[in-house]
Amino acid sequence: MIGPSRLGRVDDLELALPTGALIVGDAATVFADARPSLDGLPHGTFPVHTEVDGIEVLLADAAPVTWTRRQIRSTPSGYAALLDSSALAEYTDLGDEPVDEFELLIEQLADREVTVFRDVLGVRTGAKECVLEIALDAAGNVCRLRLRWAPASAV
């Protein structure tokens, strides 16, 4: 479970989306052939906030008027990864074996719940699956991303 507050900034962490193509998956199985989960998102670097049961990325200042569940992602390792497609090649080329990237990422998560490592937002969820949601503002533009999971006490 992340932090005691309902919604709070985490060490000034940000998610970089230079291409607007987001890859979401189990941090242990994000390999070089991963495909974007969402495409056409705003380009830029966006603040990450925590919730009791997830994280939220603020893509715009506009208030969300509707939330939509987009995908359920399997996370058997208990760790999730969010990254722009432009960060995939560097992340998957960190070691000799695919598991090397995952080991380097979880080292960063040893004393925290959320981190950014090589432009990969890594989250220790402790859950076997996560739900990716998007929020739209009044104009129909994507203004938030949220990754949610069942709290550890509910698993």
Q: Beginning with the edge strand found earlier in the chain, give each strand of the sheet holding 114-117 in spatial order.
A: 22-26, 79-84, 120-124, 114-117
pLDDT in tens, the chain (155 residues): 344 333 344 557 899 999 999 999 888 877 778 889 999 999 999 999 988 789 999 999 999 999 999 888 888 888 888 999 998 877 776 555 555 666 766 676 666 677 787 788 888 888 889 999 999 999 999 999 999 997 654 44
Tell me, what's the pLDDT at 6? 36
SS3 label, residue 8: strand
Classified as helix, coil or strand, 122 is strand
pTM exceeds cut of 0.85: no
Contacts (Cβ under 8 Å, ≥6 apart) of 106: 27, 79, 122, 124
Extents of the domains making up the chain: 8-154
